[in-house]
Amino acid sequence: MKTHPSNEFAPARGLFVTGTDTEVGKTVIAGGIAKVLRDKGQRVGVFKPIASGCRSDRQGLVSEDAEFLAHCADSSESLEHICPVRYREPLAPEVAVKRGARPIDFKSVQTYYNRLVADKDVVIVEGVGGLLVPLAEGFTVADLAKQINLPLLIVSRPGLGTINHTLLTIEIARSRGLRLAGVVINSYVADTANVAEETNPAAIERASGTKVLAIVPRDLETNVHKGVVGGGVLFALQQIDYEAIL
């Protein structure tokens, strides 16, 4: 078994969704984009190659993120194929492995990804954590994104500190040779936004030369546990020019 993947991922049209931090809502954005594209008549594949913090049930470990993505894409694929590598503890995969979990089987990640994209118009891949999360010794999410070779969409917070976090993520992406699709600001509350939140999107664009594709509102209708994407999220994501970024 190979420790790291090689260039064996099939070429595809789609996006690799990452975040500036954990809990920024990249699952909601990835699922929302999948639903928008499905509603446009696209055959959409969703893929969560590696997940941590999975729940245990009678069928083994289940990724709630993968369930949500599958629902948004109306996918007929099994959850095991959508998310082939799953860890119980909410830890970086390399840390989970050092604590006794099974190492990532990168070959199975490649196999299920290649099967998925074979009959799809577009694929939405959600990473685990941010770009520098270690998956194995000397191998990060950024390295996996480079192998999969889809344009990178970065999900960011709206508040103070997001300029730094977003610019750092963009710099890492460029240093690894990743193609940038753009940035999505998630969970914005217009009625209570302060000056930092109002000015951050333009500041990110000026400093990085990367476009903020959408500012997605905090939407109380959205519920990952129930597989629901609210209308506010969908409306914001519908404004993206997907033909330009895919």
pLDDT tens-digit map of 21-49: 988 999 999 999 999 999 999 999 999 99
Architecture of domain 14-240: 3-Layer(aba) Sandwich (3.40)
pLDDT grade, residue 59 (50/70/90)? confident
Percentage with pLDDT > 70 across the chain: 97
Q: Which amino acids are annotated catalytic? A: 48
Q: What is the mean pLDDT of the chain?
A: 95
Alpha carbon distance 179, 16 (integer Å): 10
pTM of the model: 0.95
**pLDDT exceeds 80 at position 163:** yes
Residues whose CB is less than 8 angstroms from the CB of residue 128 and which lie 6 or more positions away in sequence, other chains included: 48, 49, 50, 51, 52, 92, 93, 135, 141
